[in-house]
Amino acid sequence: MPSATASRQTGLKRLAGALAFVCLVLALMALEQRHTVAAWHMLRDEAGPAISRVVGWVAGGAKDGASGLKAAAADVGPVATAADDQILSGEFAAGDEVTRSEVGGVTFVAATIGFDAGEALHTSPLRIAAGRETFMQGLTWSDRFDAPADAQIELRRVDAAAPSPLCDGRRPAVVALLHRGRKVDLILFRSAPGPEARPSAVCGIWSFRKR
């Protein structure tokens, strides 16, 4: 075989190899793009509000941000999101007479929950519970809040809590929050909620509306 022909064939082989590599890279990029778009839609439609809350905690300097993030992202099944879901913040007035007489209004600033009565709770993310879950013997979150089975209930751990009048002189442990538009329902627990929890675990149940 003449040297010129051999050199030409070698060049063509190298060009074919380079084109094959480029095609492979383009195919992988296209596949990654489809996966990226799908992942974005999943995050936007299903996990967005939960992630926003966790980002709010971390931005506010909440303790145990990494471990709290893992807990908050725990898989509890499909959970619906609302169009107006956002980071819970701002001032809320008492939504009923019981709330008004016991704690007054409340202010949410990052990881801190401050009550007009003078008490403040410093919290960190625990997890997101679905309305269908049982939080007390024979009672689901949906039952208590009159909410859908796939409603999102935000659970926060109370950090370094001292005995508090909010819990009849005992240490609060967990806060449960359901944020719906301009309304927030809050349950404060002295011990962790769950299927075996007793009514005595509840310190107070209060309802608030955006000021």
Give the model's pLDDT for residue 179: 97
Contact 103, 84 (CB under 8 A): no
Give the model's pLDDT for residue 161: 80
Give the model's pLDDT for residue 38: 44
DSSP code at position 96? S
User: 60 vs 4, 16, 53, 65, 179, CA distance in Å?
Assistant: 71, 55, 11, 10, 19
Q: What share of the chain is helix, strand, coil (3-state, %, to 5)?
A: 40, 30, 30
- 176-187: b (≥16 Cβ within 10 Å) or e: bbbbeeeebbbb
Crossing angle of helices 65-72 and 48-59, in 10° steps, is 170
User: 93 vs 120, 164, 185, 206, CA distance in Å?
Assistant: 16, 21, 12, 11
pLDDT, averaged per 10 consecutive residues of the chain (211 residues), comes to 57 61 52 43 44 47 47 44 64 97 96 95 97 96 96 96 92 97 97 96 97 92
Give the Cβ contact number of residue 104 at 10 Å.
15
Give the model's pLDDT for residue 37: 40
For the chain, the domains span 65-210
- 142-168: b (≥16 Cβ within 10 Å) or e: bebbebeeebbbbbbbbeebeebebbe
Distance CA 200, CA 148 (A): 25
DSSP 126-155: EEEEETTSEEETTEEHHHHHT--TT-EEEE
The gap between the terminal CA atoms of the chain, to the nearest Å, is 89
Locate 50 and state its tokens.
Answer: 């939960």
Q: What is the pTM of this model?
A: 0.62
What are the backbone angles phi and psi of residue 37, rounded to the nearest 5°?
-65, -45
Give the model's pLDDT for residue 77: 44
Give the model's pLDDT for residue 16: 59
